[in-house]
Amino acid sequence: MNVILFGATGVIGRGVLRECLRDDSVESVLAIGRTPLGVTHPKLRERVQDDPSDLSEPDLDATAYDACFFCLGVSSVGMKEEAYRRVTYDLTLAVARPLAAANPALTFVYVSGEGTDSTERGRSMWARVKGRTENDLLQLPFRAYMFRPGIVQPVCGVPSKTRLYRTLYAVAAPLFPLLRRIAPNLVTTTEALGRAMIAVAAAPPGAGVPGRILRPRDINRLATGSDQS
């Protein structure tokens, strides 16, 4: 398959990129973002641009791609709802709508978050915005899947570009094995996320995936090829 990847400089996106480059079923990856990745690979092509949602370049033929993995996002901490909506809802739909129109056969995977409010009416600002984003993506004419990963452990040397997060991950690292034992349905890894996205994109339409909204248990099972029943 050929994949478009957004957000490859973040922890989750970097993990997804790693799995795509390692997987023989992925023929090529086009990474679109604002900053260079600093990664070279025969399967990888980069487009660095100020506006990641600008898909107007003539060399980007949406029909040539089988999947889009959208890992781009920001923390809502300290943000007003309007600003958070611009970089969450507006940006995501600005990418998704033209892709869906050009290629309805595309699989679109959106990294959302555990606690997302599908009713769009709750008290939590970020959860409402994510809920609206999910709902509108699910209305588009492609195969859309919402990943709500919960607690994500970076593995396989995947770094965070934020110093605070690097420190937090280092401090929490000894706790992840315990968390996986006592709360296996709340924890996943960057590796599992990448493996699960590839599995979802490779699955025949209507088969092999337990639903359109996938939580840590679903993600972990898809990553390992376990039975979904």
Per-residue model confidence (pLDDT) at position 90: 97
Cα–Cα distance for residue pair 169/166, rounded to 1 Å: 5
Residue ranges, the chain, pLDDT below 50 = 164, 227-229
Cα-to-chain-centroid distance, residue 80: 23
Per-residue model confidence (pLDDT) at position 152: 86
- pTM exceeds 0.75, yes or no: yes
Per-residue model confidence (pLDDT) at position 200: 96
Per-residue model confidence (pLDDT) at position 229: 37
Per-residue model confidence (pLDDT) at position 153: 83
Cα–Cα distance for residue pair 9/6, rounded to 1 Å: 9
